[in-house]
Copies of this chain bind each other. A is one copy, B any other.
Amino acid sequence: MKFCSNCGAPVTLRIPPGDSLPRHVCTNCGSIHYQNPKIVVGAVPEWEERILLCRRAIEPRHGFWTLPAGFMENAETTAEGAARETLEEACARVEVGDLFTLINVPHINQVHIVYRARLLDLDFGPGEESLEVALFEEKDIPWDDIAFRTISMTLRHYFEDRRKGSFGFHTGSVPPIAEPHLP
The interface of chain A, by Cβ under 8 A from chain B, is 1-11, 18, 20-21, 24, 33-39, 71-80, 88, 98-99, 102, 104, 106-107, 109, 111, 113, 128, 169, 171, 173
Query: A88–B37 Cα gap in the complex (Å)?
Result: 19
**Shortest Cβ distance from A8 into B: residue:** B3
Residue from the list B36, B39, B71, B79 in contact with A74, Cβ < 8 A: B36
B contact residues around A77 at 8 Å (CB): 104, 106, 173
A97 to chain B minimum Cβ distance, whole angstroms, is 11
B contact residues around A33 at 8 Å (CB): 5
B contact residues around A72 at 8 Å (CB): 36-37, 111
Among the interface residues A21, A33, A104, which one has the most CB atoms of the partner chain B within 10 A? A104
Residue from the list B36, B78, B102, B173 in contact with A38, Cβ < 8 A: B36
Given contacts A10-B8, A99-B102, A37 and B74 within 8 Å (CB-CB): yes
